[in-house]
Amino acid sequence: MECLRLLERGVSLIEDILFLNAYESHHQPPKFEQIDSQQLLQLYMQTHINHAAKKQIEFKWQNEVYVPIISDAKLLLRIIDNLLSNAIKFTFTGYKVSFHTGIDERKLVMSVSDQRQGTPH
């Protein structure tokens, strides 16, 4: 079981590298624009809430972002998806995953906490 988790983690990292490489190879700088972060996150969170519920994992999201932010929406969603997908994927049934979004000194801050067993070093 542990080997399977490590393999899934490796595949996830490779997918991230390929995504970033494709993004950079097209010489596409991040597309910074004003985003209604509350609306964007609200719509996107439902996917992760549903995924957690299917695994019988309690998912809590605390949002303290009430102002538009400047970011690349596609990259931001990729980062959030990565954080939450991994937290849910590696958390056992019956445990909890928490996600917090806020603003600190005009910067978006995200934190994920879970009750999973850490990856061995």
At 2, which helix (H) or strand (E)? helix 2-25
Instruction: Pull the structure tokens for residue 73.
Output: 């929406």
Which residue segment(s) compose the domain that 97 sits in?
A: 30-114
Has residue 1 been placed in a domain?
no
Q: How far apart are CA 49 and CA 28, in angstroms?
A: 32
Has residue 25 been placed in a domain?
no
Give the count of domains, the chain: 1
pLDDT digits 0-9 by tens, 60-87 = 999 888 888 898 888 888 888 888 988 8
Q: Note the pLDDT of residue 27.
A: 63
Question: What's the CATH code of the domain at 97?
Answer: 3.30.565.10
pLDDT digits 0-9 by tens, 110-121 = 999 987 665 544
| pLDDT over 70 at 50, yes or no | yes
Instruction: Pull the structure tokens for residue 36.
Output: 């209604």
Has residue 36 been placed in a domain?
yes
Q: How far apart are CA 102 and CA 26, in angstroms?
A: 32
pTM of the model: 0.72
| pLDDT over 70 at 20, yes or no | no
Has residue 103 been placed in a domain?
yes
Has residue 5 been placed in a domain?
no
Has residue 95 been placed in a domain?
yes
Has residue 85 been placed in a domain?
yes
Has residue 56 been placed in a domain?
yes
